[in-house]
């Protein structure tokens, strides 16, 4: 499953939605795509870690 969030600067914006999805489906892999901004709010590494599940390859375009 791919989730397109548009803009995000924290992994917590969509965390509740991801957890709800895990409760109602048997999804094994998901990832978020979008524009990451405002590094000071949350580090990109933490945002990447908490907005994916399963075998996911992170692709970062700068």
pLDDT in tens, 8-52: 777 787 788 888 888 888 888 888 777 776 666 778 888 888 888
The residue range of the domain holding 46 is 2-53
Q: Tell me if 60 is assigned to some domain.
A: no
Q: Tell me if 62 is assigned to some domain.
A: no
- What is the per-residue pLDDT for 16? 84
Q: Tell me if 58 is assigned to some domain.
A: no
Q: Tell me if 26 is assigned to some domain.
A: yes
Q: Tell me if 31 is assigned to some domain.
A: yes
Q: Tell me if 59 is assigned to some domain.
A: no
- How many domains are contained in the chain? 1
Sign, CA dihedral 26-10-35-39, equals negative
* pTM of the shown model: 0.65
Contact residues for 42 (Cβ-Cβ < 8 A; gap 6+): 9, 10, 11, 12
Pairing of strands 2-8, 52-53: unpaired
Instruction: Give the Cα separation of 26 and 22 in Å (integer).
Output: 7
């Amino acid at each position: 499953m791919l989730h397109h969030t548009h803009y995000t600067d924290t992994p917590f914006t969509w965390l509740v939605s991801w957890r709800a999805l895990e409760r109602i489906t048997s999804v094994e892999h998901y990832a978020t795509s979008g524009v990451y901004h405002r590094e000071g709010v949350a580090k990109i590494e933490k945002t990447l870690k908490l907005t994916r599940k399963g075998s996911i390859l992170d692709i970062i375009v700068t």
